[in-house]
Amino acid sequence: MSANTEHEALAALDARRSVPAKQLDAPGPDDATLLRMLRSASRVPDHGKRVPFRFLRIAGADRDALGERLAARSLERDPDIGDGALDKDRRRFSHAPLVIVVVAVLDPEDTKIPEVERLLTAGSVCFALLQAAQALGFGGSWLSGWPAYDPDVRALLGLGANERVAGFIHIGTPRIEAPERERPDPATLLTDWHAP
């Protein structure tokens, strides 16, 4: 890799930032572009080559339909919920043209590879998908919220008993240039271990 290419690769990594879901418009990626993104996203460290993840696509009218179901569930969870919060749930999946659910697939019978390592692999997929989306000119956001942890919503999404939502990755065309936020200074995070 030439010094210039190396610099460009790092510049791309350093330019990664989330674009809020509300600022993601159509168009989203077409099928071929999405598969290209998922190819990059699937290229993650994976102890034991378990492939402990899969992708679920939510797009088109199904985004609004899911929102209606979320609002109903939200009301069930909290009958006193206000209209504002209910509306937020109704529109949760309707901002970006596409949401990819990265599903962690955690086989409980796998005693060889610790579950946390398989979950970390699924988390890496989420991050890699954000990077791939940005590399192809799209914006993305990794969101969770209560729907990621609610058993009824998990069932509604068709997740099995051994599956978890690693992330809802909202993808679309950025309407704005997302503002940069303060980043941690790695020098303050680095210490040296010395033999006691």
Ligand X SMILES: Cc1cc2nc3c(=O)[nH]c(=O)nc-3n(C[C@H](O)[C@H](O)[C@H](O)COP(=O)(O)O)c2cc1C
Binding residues for ligand X, rule: CB under 6 A, are: 17-18, 141-145, 167, 181
- Report in angstroms how near the CB of residue 141 gets to ligand X at its nearest: 5
- Report in angstroms how near the CB of residue 142 gets to ligand X at its nearest: 4
Nearer Cβ to ligand X (82/184): 184
Nearer Cβ to ligand X (54/164): 164
- Report in angstroms how near the CB of residue 171 gets to ligand X at its nearest: 13
- Report in angstroms how near the CB of residue 25 gets to ligand X at its nearest: 18
The residue sitting closest to ligand X, measured at its beta carbon, is 18
Nearer Cβ to ligand X (17/91): 17
Are 144 and 170 a contacting pair, CB within 8 Å? no
